[in-house]
Structure 1
């Protein structure tokens, strides 16, 4: 009997030991499973965030593409049209033409040239006392320094995040579909 009791006690101790090991393994398994579930949740969240970022990037790329197409198809033409019709260019061209005409007149009249060279006072030939050639050259060189208002505006608007939309408003361009000055996806 004693042997059986000892066997029962020993088996009972082994059972307790096995039960404790099983509980530890079960707890470790649950901990690993919980960690895996947390990792999976984090990965799913990361995938969701990256998907949203990719979609936002695609939208920005589509808008930039549409804006670039509009600039090439319509925007540049509208800007050039504004420059060609600007008062600054008209004034400059008038002054350049006047300087060229005066230079041609001065070089074309021998009498005026001789009066200017002799430094005689001849009221009708005052033009020949001025340096028409340098005035004409100065006007030609001045073309490099013309600053058109629309070019300044384009420069400022290009640094803004919604620059093309603002440029459309500044140029008075309205989208055919939207009826406003938003991003055009058709042009």
Structure 2
């Protein structure tokens, strides 16, 4: 009976030890499960934030696309039409055309053609007498604010 009593005490000690190990394993598993649930919740929250950001980016992209289409279809032609029909541009082009016409008629075209062929400046022409470089610089300063974007 003594040996059976010792066996019972030994078995109850082992049972207690196994119960403690099982309890520790259960607590560790619950802790891991809780960490996993927290991680899943953070991932879901992150996913929701990214979804909202992507949706906002899609809406912004759509608005920009519509604006660009409007600019290309309406605004750019309006700006170009305004520039083409501007009084300043017409005046400037008339002055350039008139100066070139006067220069060509002054001494005849052959003299100008010969000077151009020999890559020389023909000082007999009115363009050179009227200081066309100075006029060009003045016009350049006058229209310096005009910029043409490449579409």
Question: CA 1:75–1:150 in structure 2 vs 1: closer, same or farther (change >3 Å)?
Answer: farther
After superposition, the CA RMSD in angstroms is 3.4
Higher Cα Rg: structure 1 or 2?
2
Distance 1:136 1:70 in 2: 45
Q: Deviations over 1:128-158 (max 9, x none)?
A: x97424469769x77xx58464537x79xxx
Higher relative contact order (CA 8 A, sep 6+): 1
1:132 aligns with 2:129: no
Contiguous gaps of at least 5 residues in structure 1 = 109-128, 156-187
Contiguous gaps of at least 5 residues in structure 2 = 109-122
Distance 2:51 2:63 in 1: 18
1:47 aligns with 2:41: no
1:16-165 alignment runs, 5 A limit: 16-107=16-107, 131-134=125-128, 147=143, 149=145, 151=147
Structure 1 residue 28, shift from structure 2 partner: 1.3
Distance 1:37 1:86 in 2: 69
Structure 1 residue 65, shift from structure 2 partner: 1.2
> Given that residues 83 and 89 in structure 1 are in contact (C-alpha distance below 8 angstroms), is that contact kept between their aligned partners in structure 2?
yes
Q: What TM-score do the two structures reach when normalised by structure 1?
A: 0.57
Q: Deviations over 1:65-92 (max 9, x none)?
A: 1122112101210110221133431221
Q: What TM-score do the two structures reach when normalised by structure 2?
A: 0.68
Structure 1 residue 105, shift from structure 2 partner: 4.5
Q: Deviations over 1:34-66 (max 9, x none)?
A: 121122112112211221221122122212211
